[in-house]
Amino acid sequence: MRLKGKVALVTGGWRGNGRGIAEGFAREGACLALADINGEGVRQTAQELAACYGVETDAVQVDVGEPAAVEAMVRQVVERFGRIDILVNNAGIMPTSPFLDLTHDLWHQVLRVNLDGAFFCSLAVAKIMAQQGGGTIINITSMAGFQAPPNNAAYATSKGGLHMLTRAMAVDLAPYGIRVNAIAPGIILTDLNRHIFEADPARLERNLVRVPMGRIGYPNDLAGAAIFLACDDSAYVTGISLPVDGGYLAR
Ligand SMILES: NC(=O)c1ccc[n+]([C@@H]2O[C@H](COP(=O)([O-])OP(=O)(O)OC[C@H]3O[C@@H](n4cnc5c(N)ncnc54)[C@H](O)[C@@H]3O)[C@@H](O)[C@H]2O)c1
């Protein structure tokens, strides 16, 4: 039980990668605060994980792009659990558009959730962690932050920005005992992309050709990396982006 007694706040915890990471943390004994814009959904997930793993859970409805709501979320978690040891900035959206059709609105929508949201959550939580004497922050970025997929300029830019925010925070927060790292997932089957692959199964085949391990990933594939970065096994690791992509970025 590598996270026994730790309190983990996971944004976008309702489903997909957030849920997969939260389940990994629960298996390692962490108390879970799950936050999501879908309040009903995240309450359900929190109840299911509490019942399944016997850990304490709480659910918070939040829009991570709204600073006042993020501060209220952090207050709620601290009131409930007394501390926050681990923050996973996982909430994210991926609407696509060819560059010439990209509206200002869509651009701001994506940057607001994927980059501003991670910044707002990190700032509010890092203040608590600094008072506690430490903690770990994990940003869920993407291989799209390294390589630009077509029709995805806003998303790729948000994830590239999050890579750099990871490094900048790692440098500034190290004196406070706060480590900041990122996980860059490859192609992970979730509701974010399921409709794309269902509409065009050949696209999945085309993408898999580029994955040396030859298979798609699942949210549970991210859990091991997140546990490593959250626990003391990675005590001397900060400022990295760890690809979890079946080798996609290696070629
Ligand atoms: N699935 C992939 O292949 C893949 C690859 C690379 C990175 N990622 C990243 O993983 C993260 C999770 O994505 P996923 O694939 O699980 O998708 P998903 O759509 O299943 O999950 C995203 C979660 O974020 C929540 N959310 C969206 N906007 C929010 C907001 N404003 N405030 C709070 N919560 C909000 C959603 O309700 C949902 O629960 C994202 O950051 C995504 O960019 C996914």
Q: What pLDDT is attached to residue 5?
A: 94
Active site residue 159: yes
CATH number (domain holding residue 148): 3.40.50.720
**Residue 248 belongs to some domain of the structure:** no
Strand ranges inside 66-153, DSSP E:
86-89, 135-140
**Residue 40 belongs to some domain of the structure:** yes
Average pLDDT over the chain reads: 97
**Residue 2 belongs to some domain of the structure:** no
For residue 219, what pLDDT band results from cuts at 50, 70 and 90?
very high
Is the CB of 248 inside a 6 Å radius of any atom of ligand 1?
Answer: no
Q: What pLDDT is attached to residue 164?
A: 98
Is the CB of 11 inside a 6 Å radius of any atom of ligand 1?
Answer: yes
Q: What pLDDT is attached to residue 49?
A: 98
Q: What pLDDT is attached to residue 114?
A: 98
Q: What pLDDT is attached to residue 118?
A: 99
**Residue 42 belongs to some domain of the structure:** yes
The mean pLDDT value for 229-244 works out to 98
Q: Residue with the nearest Cα to atom 25 of ligand 1?
A: 12
Active site residue 97: no
**Residue 249 belongs to some domain of the structure:** no
**Residue 1 belongs to some domain of the structure:** no
Active site residue 155: yes
**Residue 15 belongs to some domain of the structure:** yes
* Helical residues (DSSP H) of the chain, grouped into ranges: 16-27, 39-53, 67-81, 104-111, 117-132, 153-173, 194-199, 201-208, 219-230
Q: Which domain holds residue 218?
A: 7-242
Those residues whose C-beta lies under 8 Å from the C-beta of residue 17, and which sit 6 or more positions away, are: 90, 140, 185, 188, 190, 219, 222
Nearest to 83 by CA among 33, 47, 12: 33
- Give pTM, 2 decimals: 0.98
Tally the domains of the chain. Answer: 1
